[in-house]
Amino acid sequence: MIPRSPVPLSPAFEATARGARFRDRIAVVVKAPPEAIFAALQNVTLRDMKFAWLLGELRYLPSRLAGRMPDSESRRPFLNTLTDGGTLILRNDAPREMITGSAAQLHRVHQSPKHFPTREAFEAFNEPDHEKLFMSLRVAPTGRPGEHWFVLEHATRPLSPLADRRFARYWRAIRPMGAFVTWQLLRAIRRRAERAAIGPLAPTARTWAGG
């Protein structure tokens, strides 16, 4: 069997997230072409990852009760929920890579995410009690025919030494849950992409099974 290639780094993401020391990267193997994987990314919903959705509801319940965050819409595409919440798409090279950026007080219960009209406004933002979060969602070859890595890599850059200390404490507590939610998201995208990749064969199989 052909060995899989290791998950490669993204030069574009490294340049965007420079200086961010709180990082994680999770990848899954998807037996589908890049176009199907990115179509699944565009369409995946919270309902596709129910346990992760429940954890998110518990995490953000105080903000919802305080009226600082609207109720989640489980049937709305997850990517739309991110962008409506203040996440900017900084680079879109679909179906190979998408890089996003956001800013908030991530170390607090009420994170108060910021909204930016332009990328320039986001890059200029430097309030010291905030952090910037960068994400890369990308496809890379595994070296095996018909399959690809789908990678979610994120990096957080605190905007002051005090924010760095506060976020470090938060990071130790939240990292395991964050990794679990990321796995749930990637697996939901994989299911959608692989179903789409074999979709044209499904009616034939059902007709045969039914006699």
Q: Quick: pLDDT tens for 133-184.
A: 999 999 999 999 999 999 999 999 999 999 999 999 999 988 988 888 889 9
Residue 50 scores a pLDDT above 90? no
**pLDDT higher for 206 or 167?**
167
Cα angle at 158 between 67 and 179, to 5 degrees? 75
The residues, ordered by sequence, that sit 6+ positions from 156 with a Cβ below 8 Å of its Cβ are 20, 22, 23, 106, 131, 132, 133, 134, 167, 171
Model-level pTM greater than 0.95?
no
Residue 5 scores a pLDDT above 90? yes
Average pLDDT, integer, range 86-106: 96
Residue 89 scores a pLDDT above 90? yes
Residue 66 scores a pLDDT above 50? no
Strand, coil or helix: what is 92? Answer: strand
Beta bridge partners of 157: 132
Rounded-to-integer distance, Cα 98 and Cα 84, Å:
17
Tokens 């309030």 sit on residue: 127
Predicted pLDDT of residue 60: 45
Predicted pLDDT of residue 47: 81
Letter string b/e over residues 100-132, b meaning 16 or more CB atoms within 10 A of that residue's CB: bbbbbbbbeeebebbebeeeeebeeeeeeebbb
Predicted pLDDT of residue 109: 75
- Percent of the chain at pLDDT > 90 equals 65
Q: What is the band of 119 on the pLDDT scale with cuts at 50, 70, 90? A: very high
The CATH class given to the 19-199 domain equals: alpha beta
Predicted pLDDT of residue 199: 67
Residue 205 scores a pLDDT above 80? no
Question: What does pLDDT average to over the chain?
Answer: 85
**pLDDT higher for 171 or 67?**
171
Q: Quick: pLDDT tens for 186-203.
A: 999 999 999 998 865 444
- Percent of the chain at pLDDT > 70 equals 82
